[in-house]
Amino acid sequence: MNLHEAKRDIIEAGRRVYQQGYVASNDGNISCRLDEDRILTTPTGMSKGFLELSDLVIVDYDGKKVSGSRNPSSEIGMHLFLYRERPDANAVVHAHPPTATGFAVAGIPLTECVLPEVIITLGAIPIAGYGTPGGPEISEPIRKWVQDYDAYLLENHGATTIGTDVMNAYYKMETMEHFAKILFVAKQLGGVNLLDERQVADLIKIRERMGLRGPQPACDWTPGVSQIQPAASSNGIPTLKTKSAGAPANAAPSGQNGNVQPDLVDEITRRVMQELKKLS
């Protein structure tokens, strides 16, 4: 990728993540694959909203600085891991978008089939387990999701997206946070209307016509119920053909093994509220 263009894109993405409130203070980091030997990255200890071209740093695939007056991001190891695992990825954006990060802290993956544009572009966003920021521990929990997903919630930390270029990775971060806000509001209002399996299949066809990469990332069209025979992909990761990223492939349907049907919970809640009103 052209160095000057890559620098301009990182500066613009940094400005946007800061203005959108996806990062605070000096949080977050952005990088871009320049070629087979070099990665362009944001520096450590600087606000992403006020970077200049001269602040960016070039490192090799061992994370060693090749050029630049500043030091590279302290989380460059996670970026290098993603580039090694996903040769098709040319950019990484890591931030702390508040609503999506709230889901990560609550341990709730963004896997429900709700918004067509999210299903087409991301499918679902799983949660990678916690790893200490700045060290190799942050990368390893992403490993089981990295081949089938382009966006990851990081438990008690934030979120990371990968893309074909810097702005593509940034837009995925924006889509993730937008989805999280809408899903949060829907849950507060009392329920989420999910798209069904047929509707999701139609959206996947659109995804394929657009030439987006596969295998298709999963999303959950029926909470707690697998409508098809669960079977993991070759590396054991659930895909759209099997099960939601938010549940193991052998998860039992709702109502089995002691799980309570959502309708029953609603009815119990309604009756309890009626009795409380009588007492008052």
Comparing CA positions, the residue from 97, 38, 44, 28 lying closest to residue 67 is: 38
Please report the beta strands in the chain, taking only residues with DSSP state E, as ranges in sequence order: 29-33, 39-41, 57-59, 65-67, 91-95, 127-128, 151-154, 158-163
27's CB contacts (< 8 A; 6+ apart) are 48, 95, 96, 158
160 and 92 in contact (C-beta within 8 Å)?
Answer: yes
Q: What token pair was written down for 92?
A: 């990484």
Whether 197 is catalytic:
no
Residue with tokens 């694959």, as numbered in its chain: 33
Comparing CA positions, the residue from 103, 109, 143, 102 lying closest to residue 220 is: 109
Which of 12, 75, 85, 174 is catalytic? The answer is 75
| Spatial separation of the C-alpha atoms in residues 126 and 91, rounded to whole Å | 19
Q: What token pair was written down for 71?
A: 């030091």
Q: Is 152 helix (H, G, I), strand (E, B) or coil?
A: strand
The DSSP secondary structure of 190-251, one letter per residue, reads T------HHHHHHHHHHHHHTT--SSPPP-BSSTT--SS-----TTS---TTT--TTS-TTP
241 and 231 in contact (C-beta within 8 Å)?
Answer: yes
By annotation, the residues acting in catalysis are 75
